[in-house]
Amino acid sequence: MNDGPKVLLVEDDAGLASMLRELLLGEGYEVVLAADGQRALHEGLSQHFDLLLMDRGLPAIEGLDVLGRLRNKGISTPALILSALSNPADRVEGLDRGAEDYLGKPFDIDELLARLRSLLRRHSTHADAVPVPGGMLDINGRTVTLGSGAEVVLSERESGLLAHLGRRPRQIFTREALRTAVFPDADDDGVVDTYVHYLRKKLGRTSVLTVRGMGYRLGELR
Ligand code: CA
């Protein structure tokens, strides 16, 4: 099992994709490769990533359109665009449309790796404290401190589920995605419903919202 940062690598050039994949694996990243825009959109909407590394010129959906659609769904994963379109106007367009960083092709490998590390540092999704409805979750302490100062102690699994929802507060997760991410040893999505029920009992009915026909998301932060 790989605990390194998880990267969605979006690149349609098979040779370059393979090189980048090996490079990232060698640096300890977990890599999911998407070779076209449709695939990238699907992966980006169904799994949690720590970084997006995206080409622009892609089959099916152009890279910046993929990024825009992910952003419209509330997915704020930091994105680095890696593109042959790299004059200043191209870079400005990429940054304006939701990318955090932009690197032209051809690129220097060490510079690419340094920029990815920098993005991870600036947008760490492994913060120890995550805002949740009504309070703040301390992930290590498995405790929610409510606005009143009262503390609610969670089990490890309750805390894990709430942390996963809380790191992407606007994202809708399918039950299957939550089971895979939080309860990898379970083989029935019902485990997700069970722990949502426990969280609601401890933190209130609206702490986790049901999105009909889709799954769950974190309740509204106030
Ligand atoms: Ca391309």
Q: Report the separation in Å between the CA atom of 55 and the middle of ligand 1, taken as the mean of its atom positions.
A: 6
Q: Report the separation in Å between the CA atom of 68 and the middle of ligand 1, taken as the mean of its atom positions.
A: 17
Q: Report the separation in Å between the CA atom of 107 and the middle of ligand 1, taken as the mean of its atom positions.
A: 14
Local confidence pLDDT in tens for the 222 residues of the chain: 456 899 999 999 999 999 999 999 999 999 999 999 999 999 998 888 999 999 999 999 999 999 999 988 878 889 999 999 999 999 999 999 999 999 999 999 999 999 999 998 877 655 577 889 998 898 878 999 998 889 999 999 999 999 999 988 888 999 999 999 899 889 999 999 999 999 999 999 999 999 999 999 999 987
Domains within the chain, CATH numbers bracketed: 6-124 (3.40.50.2300), 129-218 (1.10.10.10)
Cα–Cα distance measured from residue 120 to residue 100, given in angstroms and rounded to the nearest whole number: 11
Residues 6+ apart with CB under 8 A from 125: 48, 50, 77, 167
Cα–Cα distance measured from residue 31 to residue 23, given in angstroms and rounded to the nearest whole number: 10
All residues with CB under 5 Å from ion ligand 1: 12, 55, 57
Name the pTM for this structure: 0.60
Q: Report the separation in Å between the CA atom of 35 and the middle of ligand 1, taken as the mean of its atom positions.
A: 9
